[in-house]
Chains A and B, each alone.
Chain A
Amino acid sequence: MRAWLAQRVEGVPAAAVVALAAALAVYPLVATQPFWRHVVIMSMLYGAMGVAWNILGGLAGQVSFGHALYFGVGAYTAAYCYKFLGLAPLLSLPIALAISAAAAVLVGLPTFRLRGHYFVLASVFIMEGIHVVVSNWDRVGAAIGLEYPVYKASGFVDALWHGQFQTKLPYYYIALALLALALVAFRAIQRSPFGMFLVAIREEQDAAQSLGVNVARCKLYALIASAAITTLCGMFYAQYVLYVEPTSTISLLISLEICFVAILGGIGTLWGPVLGAAVIVPLTELLRAYLSGRIALDMSGLAGGGIGAWLEYYARGGGGNLDILAYGLVIMLIARYRPAGVLGFFRRID
């Protein structure tokens, strides 16, 4: 037992991993306030998406800024199937995964030939294009989005089937399971021959190709795996907030948040996204809770009040968006001072 606990999982002792898992399992029993549970739920959700992004971005070195697309596929499929087809999340799951895989193939086939900025921009444009389509598509609620019909469950099994709970506790453990699933999948891929092919592609694509690695197929499989986990997270998100709309699912900001979690903690590492999410998500959730609550104050009547009125207006939060302001500042500071992420595992991606 002792020897087992001293083993290292990607540089972290197994004992520490067990301790982390135990701490996460016990946390919601100690922290009973909904907000503090919510903060860790979102951290685990983004941690899982960061780990998923890392399969493609970290192992294979393909920097995608379009992962919000797969998040949106999960969120919209869950919401649409529940609202219009009456399908429970477990029944819409295979549909969502099928759409996600199809989307991954459609995105991957034309774009994986591209390198550097051309690939990054292609991933952005495809995602933005889908955003435009969804924002104008009345069947899926267009720009307003889809609101879930609230379901009053009788008993836990019924609630589980409908994926709607009265408290945050069940959501918490589902998010924890998603994070565990993402980590297990990443580790399995990383240690398999397939994972080594991906690393070979990242380090030297042409050399890998000349040694017989099927570059196009490996990248595609990595994207399908990465997209599948991101889609699961999207489904969870929809069931959690019971409301989906284009800007909070399929947007550049969400894409950026997913990939920033992985980059902040150290790109291409198993634990990097977990650390990144643990740092940035609570920070943004706290900023959001304390700063963006004061949005869009009334400006009328200020003109006559002179400088003092304006200063008071800004002191009370101005036009809002202070949370995004701080988030942008953090991103710039990290890029400026710690370009290899907080863990500092330097990984060059070209």
Chain B
Amino acid sequence: MIYGQVLVDGLIVGLMFALVAMGLSLIYGVMNIVNFAHGEFMMLAMYFCFFMWALLGLDPLLSTPLAAALMYFVGVGVYRLLIRHVLQATMVAQIFATFGLLLFIQAVANFLWKSDARTIPVSWSTGHFQFAGLFFNGPELVAAAGALFTAGALYWFINRTETGLALQAVAEDAQAARLMGIDSDRMFAIAWGVSCAAVAIGGGLLSTYYAITPLSGARWALPAFVAVAIGGFGSISGAFFGGLIIGVVQTAGGFFTSPNYKQLFVFALYLAIVFWRPYGLLGRR
């Protein structure tokens, strides 16, 4: 039974990793940029939900859609002000652009809200229950369900809407897409907006049970890179399954050794996978 509990806990965490990784993979797939600041948008959404709760008494699950709408525009703004101008630059310059953004947003959060952990003690989903011999924590389960729903919506958006198909066309061949009348600059901006909105939903869902600090987002984003690599950079569905895998690996590794070492297993998994397949488990090139 304990193995079942570990597996279920791993999948619950893994769904959140999956959501974070899908946004990362979307941006990478469309414009070949690794967004090191991805987790910071999540952290901003967590603070947004915290202050909506603290100042207006709004349940974080209600503020989550608002946070997503807000982060959509933040993402578009970041693309227009920064990312658009490094698209033609070297990989190193691109890495520094998003890494500088990570330092900047973290420092702004530290300056404005201090590094003390904040929590939202009670939400609509608070509570524990037992089902089929397994223990569930309400907020975590609701967050996982929300992440699964958002991941499904993202998948639907990419594969079933006209905008999503245009995004895929730009990812495939930006030049050819331009000849077909697709405005690639607009598509890039939409990709940033959607990616940031998706991770903001993750942040909002997390804020119901996870301590909120300026570093909260980075803790989720770093393992999510492993999920992206497992699925092959740029593959949205690959990132989803990658997220589930690292969720289980991290939870099981932490359970059988010590929670302090749980990230080690994820990093080791990355090395094992790229050593075996230098372009990721499902990646091609």
Contacts and interface: CB of A to CB of B under 8 A. Distances in A.
A321 B116 CA distance: 13
B27 to A, nearest CB: 12
B85 A336 contact: yes
B260 A63 contact: no
Contacts of A117: 28, 34, 91, 233
B103 interface: yes
A136 B89 contact: no
A335 B267 contact: no
Interface string A313-350: 01000111110110111111111100110000001111
Contact of A121 (B97, B225, B261): B225
Given A117-B91, A122-B271, A136-B261, A328 B103 contact: yes
Interface residues of B, number: 49
A263 B233 CA distance: 25
B91 A328 contact: no
A129 interface: yes
Interface centre among B92, B100, B225, B233 (most CB of A within 10 A): B92
Interface stretch (A108-116, A157-165, A221-229): A108-116
A138 B110 CA distance: 29
Interface stretch (B2-10, B142-150, B159-167, B272-280): B272-280
Contact of A118 (B82, B106, B229, B264): B229
B260 A296 contact: no
Nearest to B283: A118
A114 B91 contact: no
Contacts, number: 150
Given A318-B112, A325-B104, A327-B103, A116 B90 contact: no
Interface string B251-285: 00000001011011001101100110011100000
A128 interface: yes
Contacts of A111: 271
A336 B110 CA distance: 24
A340 B92 CA distance: 9
A320 B111 contact: yes
A177 interface: no
B96 interface: yes
A349 B89 CA distance: 10
Interface string B71-99: 00000000000100110011111111101
Contacts of A12: none
Interface in A114-144: 114-118, 120-122, 124-126, 128-129, 132-133, 135-136
Decide if the interface of chain A is mainly helix, strand, loop or mixed: helix
A335 B83 CA distance: 10
Nearest to B28: A117
B222 interface: yes
A296 B213 CA distance: 14
Contact of B96 (A253, A263, A320, A325): A263
A148 to B, nearest CB: 26
A349 B226 contact: no
A136 B254 CA distance: 13
A256 interface: yes
A14 B36 CA distance: 41
Interface in B11-52: 28, 34
A320 B225 CA distance: 29
Contacts of B115: 296, 319
Contacts of A340: 90, 93
Interface of B: 28, 34, 82, 85-86, 89-97, 99-108, 110-115, 222, 225-226, 229, 233, 258, 260-261, 263-264, 267-268, 270-271, 274-275, 278-280
17 contacts: A117-B91, A118-B233, A120-B34, A121-B34, A121-B229, A260-B96, A320-B110, A324-B103, A328-B104, A331-B96, A331-B99, A331-B100, A332-B97, A332-B101, A332-B104, A335-B82, A336-B97
Interface of A: 63, 65, 110-111, 113-118, 120-122, 124-126, 128-129, 132-133, 135-136, 253, 256, 260, 263, 267, 296, 299, 314, 318-322, 324-325, 327-336, 339-340, 347-350
Given A118-B278, A330-B100, 8 more contacts: A122-B270, A126-B271, A133-B261, A296-B115, A324-B106, A328-B104, A328-B106, A336-B86
